[in-house]
């Protein structure tokens, strides 16, 4: 039976001008870390989470990137 695991990707990635590779490396680091623990990268999904607001506040949806891993 396969097992699946969702790991949150980096949220707000800031890099220097012309250094977009640094952002990609953050995701690669997560994938490599999970691979060392026997997990195989499957896909990346975006989920939108809306937290229940406090009094007089509007709900604010936030997008998260989830890296999905699979293991036999």
Domain that holds residue 47: 3-71
Residue 4 pLDDT exceeds 90: yes
Give the Cα separation of 14 and 8 in Å (integer): 17
Tens of pLDDT along 47-57? Answer: 999 988 778 88
Question: In this predicted model, what pLDDT tens digit does every residue of 7-22 receive, in sequence order?
Answer: 999 887 887 888 888 8
**CA–CA separation, 33 and 69 (whole Å):** 11
The string of pLDDT tens digits covering residues 24-71 is 899 999 999 999 999 999 999 999 999 887 788 888 898 999 999 999
Structure token pair of residue 13: 């990635």
pTM exceeding the 0.85 threshold for the entire prediction: no
Q: How many domains does the chain have?
A: 1
């Amino acid at each position: 039976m396969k097992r699946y695991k969702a790991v949150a990707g980096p949220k707000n990635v800031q890099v220097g001008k012309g250094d977009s590779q640094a952002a990609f490396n953050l995701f690669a680091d997560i994938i490599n870390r999970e691979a060392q623990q026997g997990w195989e990268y499957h896909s990346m999904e975006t989920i939108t989470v809306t937290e229940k607001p406090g009094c007089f506040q509007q709900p604010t949806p936030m997008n998260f990137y989830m890296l999905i891993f699979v293991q036999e």
